[in-house]
Chains A and B, each alone.
Chain A
Amino acid sequence: MAHDYESSKKTAVKIITILAVITIAEVLFALAGKGYIIDGWHVPTAIMAGVMIIMSIAKSYLIIYEFMHMKYEVPGLVKSVLLPMFLLVWAIIAFLYEGDAWKGNRDTIKERNELEVNSLSGSTGMIYQMKKEEI
């Protein structure tokens, strides 16, 4: 038992160290990818997002399996808690697709508003726009 306790203490220190290192890596990557650390060095947004998401999932795996002791639970418990989370995969795809469609609608509305503005040739009340010669 005493040996068990000592080794679990060591595991806890190891896991917290890995979590801290991943967090630092995430922040450094987030800043470096946007050109804060090396001037003019940028990483495409899609790659940035992918790497961040993978690192975050790795962190959550460590928290759930090591800190919350999920790895010592029976398979039935693990499945009944973790499998429902996969429903979110579709929720994320569907809602982001929906959000993109809203963006399309916003653009259409903006275009139509602009058409009207031009025919009225007056202030829109929405956007402060003036021709340069008018000031």
Chain B
Amino acid sequence: MAETLTHTDTHEAQGGWDGASQPFKASYGKLMMWYFLLSDAFTFSGFLIAYGTLRVSSPTWPVPDFVFSTFPGGIHHAPLIFVTLMTFILLASSFTMVRAVQEGHQENKNGVVFWMILTIIGGFAFLGCQAWEWNNLIFEESVSYHTNPFGTHTEYGTYLEGDGHDINAGDTFVPGDSYLIHNHEGEWHHLQYEVTQGEDAGMTKKQSFGPKAFGALFFCITGFHGFHVFSGVLFLLIICINAASGLYVERKNGYEMVEKIGLYWHFVDLVWVFVFLVFYLL
């Protein structure tokens, strides 16, 4: 009996390691969380580099401030405002997570639970925003993984018909101007236009779809990130309940679980910095 106790004591004193010393003076759990995050960083980098490669390989690419310009409540032409809000929600939840970890160092159970609940609310708010954004893209703007109605003009021209939204017959456009092909009850309305300058001047053409890969990349990458947020929220909930039940009060390493989920949560925020950069800013 006495032997078992001694063994447990040494074991916990070494932060979960079996050997005589702690590699990198970090506990087993924390070090492994760092390496997991490193591998996850490579997964996300792979996705984002794939996005960059396909974007560079396409003659045109949907312009982010045209694509992401709607805001709940029927507001249009508000470029990037909604995603900026999402970024702030995630940043705020990162801050509340930092506070939870600090309260953990103080062994303040109520503080940990309070700040973790705020973090969980932030996580759900972010997921709610993402759900709205996806819903808007899929059901209002008819983007799917195989069809991308967001196109970009490559010529000068004049529209011969209007779409009943933003475009009227007679409107002119220049190369680089964006358009959205509307879908009414399953039918695509490619507007006709007349080319006014260049080799094809005088020809009548129809709006063509934008690069196919856009939808697939967007849903894949933001979906994968959203899945990370979702699983993060679940783990936050579990650890918050454990903390509230007083489980960590008796542990030798105290609130280390809170620190570990904190690392994960900050990583989710970190990935969002780059998703935000690549999809919305560039």
Interface residues of A (CB under 8 A from B): 5, 8-9, 12-13, 15-16, 19-20, 23-24, 26-27, 30-31, 34, 36, 48-49, 52-53, 56, 59-60, 63-64, 67-68, 73-74, 76-77, 80-81, 84-85, 88, 91-92, 95-96, 98-100, 102-103, 106-107, 127-132, 135
Contacts and interface: CB of A to CB of B under 8 A. Distances in A.
Given A34-B65, A36-B65, A92 B25 contact: no
Given A12-B95, A100-B57, A63 B31 contact: no
A31 B79 contact: yes
Interface stretch (B125-133, B167-175, B203-211): B203-211
Interface stretch (B8-16, B135-143, B245-253, B269-277): B269-277
Given A34-B65, A63-B269, A81-B34, A26 B98 contact: no
Interface of B: 23-26, 31, 34-35, 37-38, 41-42, 45, 49-50, 52-59, 65, 79-80, 84, 87-88, 91-92, 94-95, 97-99, 102, 105-106, 190, 194, 202-206, 208, 262-263, 266-267, 269-270, 273-274, 276-277, 280-282
Contact of A8 (B53, B102, B208): B102
A12 B99 contact: yes
Contacts of B262: 67-68
A26 B281 contact: yes
Contact of A99 (B23, B53, B206, B281): B53
